[in-house]
Amino acid sequence: MDSTSNSTMEVSTKEDHSDKERITEFRAHKSQANCCQLFHNDQHLVTCSDDNTVALWDAVSGRNLTSVKAHEHNVVSCSVDETNNRVLTGSWDKSVCLWDIETETKLWSQVYDSLVTCCCLGSYVVSTVDKSIYLHDPASGQLISTAKGHSNTVMGCSLSSRGTELCSTSMDKTAKVWDTRMLHILLNLKGHINVVSSSSFSYDSHYVATASWDKTVQLYDIATGIYRSEGPAILRHHEGSVSSCAFSRDGSLLVSGGYDLNINVYNTGINKLKLGLKGHTSWVNCVSTGEDRKWIASCSKDGMVKVWNTEHDAVEHSKQKKKKKVFGIDMARCYICGKQFARCEEPSEHMQCVFCRLRNPSRTFMDQVV
């Protein structure tokens, strides 16, 4: 296993003696940062990227602790088991790998027939591939069971804190809650009208939140089932697709990040927007909360990682606010399916929508991952 150092890291930290106003930001990767997770009492952070690496950071100073070439293609997902100092990574090279944080040793890997879209680590190792969900034993990597219930690509997965529930999100516009012991569907959530990208359980497993490309975050009371009669609480403060959501440990806050560059913090007691954080210059791919509700981490397509303090005045977080972008104006037409989609890169002759990129990878792309 090769370790690589990040020589281009740029760190900017603001802090006072109480650390109440600390905001740390740094360029974590040479390419877009896809996933981030706070751990070890919010002192450390793990990130992964299209540069094929997974990296560990000091979340207070932004100092790189280690950076490892984890896969041969984009690392799209990472998850930490801090009790056992393990990091799980999932990649477009069609594999998931479990790593020992302290020794930087690969403990095991599992290869699939198609691209891994998400993975999570807890009582089980969960990976999502095409329309399937795979459960593995964390210690050995042995496959325990496979589930199929979505009619389109599974985009994300999350485990409840007790490990008995799993939520999967999909391009079929649904989220499903599964019993991990039997892998049968407990709940079929159909509130969204576009791709469901991400989900998060509250720590007490009372609620599950889902984020979607329909620009909303939806909050379901799964303990009492109130949503069945009243519907989910719908949070509508993003101007573009929502890529990620996460509950604070105490359940009082719900955080979401999206392609409108914004990070929204909601008060779950009243389901109202509490705080808006701005500073990323490209899509926010992932948000993470820690042990203390005041700390939030985010990572972006711009390669930057930011650690925010929610107790700090929101005006400070908005100092780098850019001129407001109008999303959805720059359009391209997919040369495979013919449908239009919003683009952020320069136009080219053979542009594909995200659906066709996942379903029908180009020849060049497949040459890279085979």
How far apart are the C-alpha atoms of 18 and 5, rounded to whole Å? 31
264 and 364 share one domain: no
Determine the average pLDDT of the residues in 203-211. Answer: 97
- Are 334 and 279 contained in the same domain? no
Pair (189, 166) in one structural domain: yes
pLDDT band at 8 (very low <50, low <70, confident <90, very high): very low
Residues 6+ apart with CB under 8 A from 257: 242, 243, 244, 245, 263, 264, 284, 285, 286, 287, 298
- 1: in domain: no
In a domain, 163, yes or no: yes
- Per-residue pLDDT band at 349 (split at 50, 70, 90): low
Per-residue pLDDT for 362 more than 70?
A: no
| One domain for residues 32 and 66 | yes
Q: What is residue 326's predicted lDDT score, i.e. its pLDDT?
A: 38
Within a domain: 5: no
Residue 344 pLDDT > 80: no
Q: Are residues 169 and 100 in the same domain?
A: yes
Query: Which of 105-119, 224-238, 312-326, 330-344 is the least confident region?
Result: 312-326
- CATH number, domain of 315, equals 2.130.10.10
Q: Is residue 2 part of a domain?
A: no
Q: Tell me the pLDDT tens digit for each residue of 101-160.
A: 889 999 999 999 999 999 999 999 999 999 999 999 999 999 999 999 999 999 999 999
Local confidence band at 322 (pLDDT 50, 70, 90 cut-offs): very low
The tokens of 329 are what? Answer: 């104006």
Tokens of 144: 């325990």
Supply the pLDDT for residue 340.
Answer: 63
Domain that holds residue 356: 328-370
The answer to whether position 7 is within a domain reads: no
Is 16 inside a domain boundary? Answer: no
203 and 341 share one domain? no
Residues 337 and 352 in one domain: yes
Alpha-carbon gap, residue 335 to 338, rounded angstroms: 5
Q: For 218-268, how does the pLDDT look when each residue is reduced to its tens digit (9 = 90+)?
A: 999 999 999 999 999 999 999 999 999 999 999 999 999 999 999 999 999
The per-residue pLDDT for range 143-202, each reduced to its tens digit, is 999 999 999 999 999 999 999 999 999 999 999 999 999 889 999 999 999 999 999 999
- In this structure, the answer to whether residues 130 and 168 fall within a common structural domain is yes
Contact 218, 227 (CB under 8 A): no
Could you give the CA distance from residue 243 to residue 270 in angstroms, rounded to a whole number? 23
Co-location of 283 and 357 in the same domain: no
361 & 286 share domain: no
Same domain, 261 and 352: no
Whether residue 351 sits in one domain with residue 249: no
Domain assignment of residue 205, yes or no = yes
Question: What average pLDDT is seen over the chain?
Answer: 86
Number of domains composing the chain: 2
Q: Is residue 8 in some structural domain? A: no
Question: Which has the minimum average pLDDT: 276-285, 300-309, 351-360?
Answer: 351-360
